[in-house]
A and B are shown apart, each in its own frame.
Chain A
Amino acid sequence: MVPSYVPLSYYLLLSGFLFACGVVGFLIKRNIITIFMSIELMLNGVNLSFVAFAAHWHALAGQVFVFFVMVVAAAETAVGLAIIIAVYRTRETLNVDQVNLLKL
């Protein structure tokens, strides 16, 4: 399935890079939509590592896991976008630094 001339470490490096991009975007961006996309990026980074390991070890579990992650991510996106719309309607902003009422 995966051609043997591409070593596992390449996939893992790419996966780590994607995940790191997601983390950095999550931390530095202020727009909720962008943050949301960063989360998706992290999820996909992880998914990539799962399929890579699955191919490498010839184990099916990793691929099944990816399907679950995708299903949950889709559900999360639906809920998350709904929350974002609700936040925008009440606060009229998408800047997370201004959505800070949940504190002591």
Chain B
Amino acid sequence: MNPTLNLWLIPVLPLAGAAINGFLGKKSSRRAVTAIALFFSGAAFAMALWVALRFSSVTLPYQEFFAHWIGITGFSADFAFYLDQLSLVMLLVVTGVGFLIHIYSVGYMWDDPSYYRFFSYLNLFMFFMLTLVLANNYLLMFIGWEGVGLASYLLIGFWFTKDSAASAGKKAFIVNRIGDFGFLIALFLLIKHFGSLNFKQVFNSVGHLTAGTESEALLTAIGILLMVGACGKSAQIPLYVWLPDAMEGPTPVSALIHAATMVTAGVYMVSRSHLIFERAPMALMVVAVIGTLTAFFAATIGIAQTDIKKVLAYSTISQLGYMFMACGVGAFSAGIFHLMTHAFFKGLLFLGAGSVIHAVGGEQDMRKMGGLKSYIPWTFLTMSIATLAIAGIPPLAGFWSKDEILWKAYQVSPVYWGIGVVTAFITSFYMFRLWYMTFFGDYHGAHVDEHGHGSHGHDAHGHGEPHESPMVMLAPLMILALLSLVGGFVGWGNHFEHFLAPVFGTGEPAAEAASGITEKLLMGVSVLVALAGWGLALLLYYQRPELPQKVSDALGGFYQAVVHKYYVDELYTVLFVKPLVDGSTRILWQGVDRKIIDAAVNDSADGARHVSDEVRQMQSGNIRSYAAWIAAGSTVVIAFMIWMWTEAR
């Protein structure tokens, strides 16, 4: 007998917060809005912790039925929730990091005129994200999937009076539609062939499929289509272009949605569908190749960015690539492990970047920062921990998860491992580049008061120096820093993998024992590579600050290409956007709409008017002409009658 966990409360609590703040927030004070937003997201976190405590007392996977939704012959989908080790990890990450970022946002957004709107959207996002991770069928998951897309759109375009923010929101939404289209078709295929979208039933049917090319082709198609969906949501090649632009949103949004949680939904979805992928080696390979390429490609772009948030955005894309690489080599638990540690340190990096931006009055260009470590010591300290963590310096969180992925990748193919290691080097380099440019050297920025406060409209300070953020922003930074420090140890001795083993199945213990030395060796290589990246950044951006200019001059055109993100946006504009816009303008609008549809309506109206113009001449108002018409008409009628009469005889 399973005790009830009331899982439904976890997503519904933030929904209530979103509704209250959304409908009543405009009239209430900032304090009331804060209290409601924090209470409901905190309550969700508390519920998640409670569920985690009760976790061992329920039989897994635990399912909870909430309400009927769709029930037709041969297909049904319910509002029902599903809890296993995988959803528990996601649940804790989403509610925990989400709650911390809520707290941080209180400080960051305090002076924004749309304070209540921000928290309403943020709570709404939590609702959809929790629906996504707790759903027990693909359809409910898809609702959450689309919902987080909506929340992402609303929050990227939060400062919608700024043109760039509004179009960034649209870009994110439209690019995600492409991925969602693939996801939808995958769902249709599942319904068609398995008659269900319920996880348990689908995976059962997949398990009972007889092996053969036909079933493998089906599963490959489903897997690749699911991956298309994941590419959109998790910003993988070729659909990653929306994520860097999404940095137009407020920084806490970048931390929560575009680093820690929403963008990892694709990884979660692929991991959740691991039984499908495991039966389709081809699809699995697609996942691995896309992940590896994205990891490398995005990391190289990250080198040359000067906007602090853009660097982190490309870094996020790159780290997501690692997660997909892990999924692609069948190491789903390593992917989820990296997802979790990444949520800690990348959330921390974004929040730290927000604190930096806050300190220098809205400036995001790293060239105008520098020397900030003495102004904002706490931010500096926490950012340093996050930088070390993402660079893969032991014993911080990023090291354990990244190393786990690289080790698993090596077992499948050294090629993945090789690219992964190079990427790790680049990651370490651009992260320390960011670190040195921001915190070391001399302060290059204008004094805060001279150019007023940035678009965020922070409160005015009496002094012109960069200033440390308030405690409400620093506390989440410190907690996340602590998690980045120690979060990796849950993977110690493969604890994390064993915890997730009931979901993903056990790995290959034999290989582990046999190649212990290789693993140690590879671990050493990763650490060396990370240190080498640090050393290079130290040389270029601390000891010899004039060198980067020379290097970029020497590289010439290639450097320009990297600065311009390999012109991918321009390429997409030429290949897809322009043909679509031109086609819509010339053919659909000028051609079909104006020349056919409009013309049909207008011409029939014009025709009626022309005829009426002629006919109304009869309405002269002249009584004798009316009389003449009557006489003529009756003459005709009588003549006709006489004619008929004579005919009849």
Which A residues are closer than 8 A to B by beta carbons? 23, 26-28, 30, 35, 96-97, 99-104
Contacts and interface: CB of A to CB of B under 8 A. Distances in A.
Interface of B: 616, 619-624, 627-628, 631
Contact of B623 (A23, A28, A96): A96
B627 A26 contact: yes
Contacts of B623: 35, 96-97, 99-100
A103 B616 CA distance: 9
Given A28-B624, A100-B620, 11 more contacts: A26-B627, A26-B631, A96-B622, A96-B624, A97-B624, A100-B621, A101-B621, A102-B621, A103-B619, A103-B620, A104-B616
Given A96-B623, A97-B622, A101-B621, A27 B628 contact: yes
A23 B623 CA distance: 13
A23 B620 CA distance: 20
Interface of B is mostly: helix
Contact of B619 (A27, A97, A104): A104
Nearest to A28: B624
Contacts of A99: 623
Contacts of A100: 620-623
B619 A23 contact: no
B616 A27 contact: no
A96 B627 CA distance: 12
Closest 10 CB pairs between A and B?
A: A103-B621, A100-B621, A96-B623, A104-B619, A103-B619, A104-B616, A100-B622, A102-B621, A26-B627, A27-B627
Nearest to A32: B623
A23 B627 CA distance: 9
Contacts of A97: 622-624
13 contacts: A23-B631, A26-B624, A26-B627, A28-B624, A30-B624, A96-B624, A97-B623, A97-B624, A100-B620, A101-B621, A103-B619, A103-B620, A104-B616
Contacts of A35: 623
A28 B631 CA distance: 12
A41 B570 CA distance: 91
Nearest to B634: A23
A97 B621 CA distance: 9
A17 B628 CA distance: 18
A95 B620 CA distance: 15
Contacts of A103: 619-621
Nearest to A103: B621
A68 B623 CA distance: 27
Contacts of A101: 621
A97 B620 CA distance: 10
Among A35, A99, A102, the one with the most B-chain Cβ atoms within 10 Å of its Cβ is A102
Contacts of A104: 616, 619
A64 B620 CA distance: 39
Nearest to B620: A103
Contacts of A96: 622-624
Contacts of A28: 624
A103 B622 CA distance: 8
B608 to A, nearest CB: 15
Nearest to A102: B621
Contacts of B619: 103-104
Which among B616, B623, B631 has the greatest number of chain A C-beta atoms within 10 A?
Answer: B623
A49 B463 CA distance: 115
Nearest to A100: B621
Contacts of B631: 23, 26-27
Nearest to A26: B627
Contacts of A102: 621
A23 B635 CA distance: 11
B620 to A, nearest CB: 6
B622 to A, nearest CB: 5
Contacts of B620: 100, 103
